[in-house]
Copies of this chain bind each other. A is one copy, B any other.
Amino acid sequence: MQEAIARLRQFRDERDWKQFHNPKDLSLALSIEAAELLEVFLWKSPEQADLNKVKEELADVIAYALLLADSYDLDVEKIVLDKIALNEKKYPVSKAKGTATKYTEL
């Protein structure tokens, strides 16, 4: 994702937007974009969603996730791999297989 991150930084800096990008507001922006993605599915079955809109809204979500990670100098792939390792303990295969139950209720 190095090219995407570089382009996002450049886009931000050309517009002098770093002043607005504190991590709290970046998290707000991420939540707002996640809701716009959700809206693509509103009142619809999963199959009825417009794929072009999914692409655009999902891209916005990922863009803010990358900007937030970058503001803390985090490596996005590393934090995902670390979290998977944690989730393997929260959701052992023996208990979680075939059930959507949350780990707090397993």
In Å, the complex CA distance between A49 and B42 comes to 18
In the complex, the answer to whether A96 meets B8 with C-beta atoms within 8 Å is no
Nearest Cβ in chain B — how far from A88, in angstroms? 7
Residue among A3, A19, A30, A81 facing the most chain B CB atoms (10 A cut-off): A30
Which B residues lie within 8 Å of A66 (CB)?
80
In Å, the complex CA distance between A98 and B12 comes to 10
- 1/0 contact trace for A55-87 toward B, CB 8 Å? 110111111011011001010110111111011
Take A14-B93, A84-B8 as given contacts and tell me if A100 and B20 are in contact as well, using a CB distance cutoff of 8 Å: yes
In the complex, the answer to whether A7 meets B54 with C-beta atoms within 8 Å is no
In Å, the complex CA distance between A54 and B30 comes to 13
